[in-house]
Structure 1
Amino acid sequence: MAASYTAAGMPEEGKRLAFYFDIDHLRSSVVNIIEERQFWEDWDRWGAQGQLGLRLIEDTRVAATKFSKAKDTLIVRKFGDVEPGNYWYHVCEGEAERVLPPPRHAIRLAPSLMSIVDDIILSMQQDFDSVHVGGSVEDLIQRIEDGVDVGRQVYIAGEGINTVSMEVLKAKYNNLRYLDEFQRLWRKDSKWFLEMKRLNGGVPVKFDGYMRELVDREVFLKGKKKVEVLR
């Protein structure tokens, strides 16, 4: 996990994809998907004596098309902590997209995260608007005052959203909602927490920064009127 999503500000290894995305749907949509651990166990049997070649690429800065004539049996990309923009899907953009199209149809949030999304939506008006903030709180305040119908319930998502800034806004507009209002949905007695603990072999899982972003963005996308507030 990239450092920008962790409380310690350091990259974290070993996060399971099933914490974030629906693995069953991915497997049914994309042929021959297996867990990393199982893959490397198989690889050790196949290429233990070096008979099979492996090429390691540390990030996304080298285009996939550069390897069209590679003879290596396996090409591995490892995504480090180079930010911004060092994301797996960037290897499938531009010229490479014709050969390696991103499997967007196969990517869905994990059922445990979608349960949080659904509960948030159910707790609001059936018809709500949403605002995604990529700029400052001042930009948000200006956008709300200029263009959002404050007679409707509005979900505020994105960077820079915190309790202090939102409570100031809510004192003026009492129909604004934001993610941290729903912490009960991932606390230790929640359905999400117990399911994640089960998936992780009995070890508790923290509701981390990447989960927050995925849930926040998904709720934003469910809004009837969606407004982006950019720098």
Structure 2
Amino acid sequence: MPHYLRSLLCALAEARYLNRTLVVDLSLCLAASYAGGMPEEGKRLAFYIDIEHLQSMVGIVEHKQFWEDWDRWGAQGQLGVRIIEDTRVAPIKFSKARDPLIVRKFGDVEPGNYWYNVCEGEAERMLRPPQGAIRWAPSLMHIVDGIISRMQGDFDSVHVGGDGENLRGRIEENVNGGRQVYVAGEGINILVDVLKLKYSNVHYLDGFEELWETDSKWFLEMKRLNGGVPVEFDGYMRELVDKEVFLKGKKKFEVFG
């Protein structure tokens, strides 16, 4: 997913530089590390990103609809197409192209076939990825807001990396014992139990799972968007929500084992 977003931002920057509309595949393959051990194809980008905001910032069209229209227009073989087959070809080299369609082709070898490579090297000076175009999906931010609301917006936050034995001590050195504490990170259940011995209000992501359970607003909305098929609150969604809640803490600390 991070590679995908980096590539998407680069593609948007290139399209803006060329003053063209970007044809975008609004589905993605979720990496195995976020999908229970197996890559998951066909995840809708709208589950993660605010597509309406993206469309308000830059010119994009969904690739399936584009190719359906392209075929309906009878455009194949009649309208010019410029093929760019190397990510090292900077957009300035074809910025004056008059072809109605420019297609970048990528090889099969990773990571050389990621679009973000286009924005490196010679093109780095001219391409400015539009960082403000990416916002997380409103459905995920609703969960973030729900968690913060349950903590009444007044909490300190800790992001934990690793599992060293001295994590507890580092947290206690930095966080006041009278404060609500939100602990972000993976595999922190045991640490949270230990911290509860000192802190009366310790929170972590799984303590708010009612916000994405089967009767939650998030679950029902995702099921509707997905044509009646339930959507899992997957590993990347967990990571996004966890990080956003952490960033909303009054005081923020990161500790590593």
Which range, TM-score by smaller chain?
Answer: 0.7 to 0.9
Which residue is equivalent to 2:104? 75
Distance in 2 (alpha carbons) for counterparts of 1:165 and 1:79 = 42
Distance in 2 (alpha carbons) for counterparts of 1:35 and 1:227 = 40
Percentage identity across paired residues of the two chains: 61
Which residue is equivalent to 2:217? 191
Asked which structure has the greater CA Rg, the reply is 2
Q: CA offsets per residue over residues 5-57 of structure 1, 9 Å max, x none?
A: 111x2222211111011111111111x21223223434556764596354567
Which residue is equivalent to 1:36? 63
**AA aligned opposite 2:93:** K
Helix, strand or coil for the counterpart of 1:14? strand
Distance in 1 (alpha carbons) for counterparts of 2:121 and 2:254 = 25
2:206 equivalent to 1:180: yes
- Name the stretch that deviates more: 69-78 or 113-122: 69-78
- Following TM superposition, where does structure 1 have runs of at least 4 consecutive aligned residues deviating by more than 6 angstroms? 78-82
Which residue is equivalent to 1:11? 39
Q: Where does the alignment leave 5 or more consecutive residues of structure 1 unmatched?
A: none
Report the TM-score when normalising by structure 2: 0.72
Report the TM-score when normalising by structure 1: 0.79
Q: CA offsets per residue over residues 72-125 of structure 1, 9 Å max, x none?
A: 92115589986xxx9866754676443332221111111111110000000004
Q: Structure 1 residue 156: deviation in Å?
A: 1.1
Alpha carbons 1:53, 1:74 under 8 Å: kept: yes
Which residue is equivalent to 2:233? 207
Alpha carbons 2:183, 2:203 under 8 Å: kept: yes
Which residue is equivalent to 1:153? 180
Q: Structure 1 residue 164: deviation in Å?
A: 3.3
Listed as ranges, the matches of 1:36-55 within 5 Å are: 36-42=63-69, 44=71, 48-49=76-77, 52-55=81-84
Helix, strand or coil for the counterpart of 2:183? strand
Q: CA offsets per residue over residues 141-197 of structure 1, 9 Å max, x none?
A: 232022222321111112x33433322332343322110111100000000000001
Helix, strand or coil for the counterpart of 1:133? strand
Between structures 1 and 2, the one with greater strand share: 2
Distance of aligned partners of 1:13 and 1:192 in 2 relative to their CA distance in 1, 3 Å threshold: same
Q: Structure 1 residue 221: deviation in Å?
A: 1.1
Alpha carbons 1:20, 1:110 under 8 Å: kept: yes
Which residue is equivalent to 2:135? 108
Distance of aligned partners of 1:135 and 1:191 in 2 relative to their CA distance in 1, 3 Å threshold: same
Distance of aligned partners of 1:41 and 1:133 in 2 relative to their CA distance in 1, 3 Å threshold: farther
Distance in 2 (alpha carbons) for counterparts of 1:81 and 1:173 = 46
How many residue pairs match? The answer is 220
Q: Where does the alignment leave 5 or more consecutive residues of structure 2 unmatched?
A: 1-29
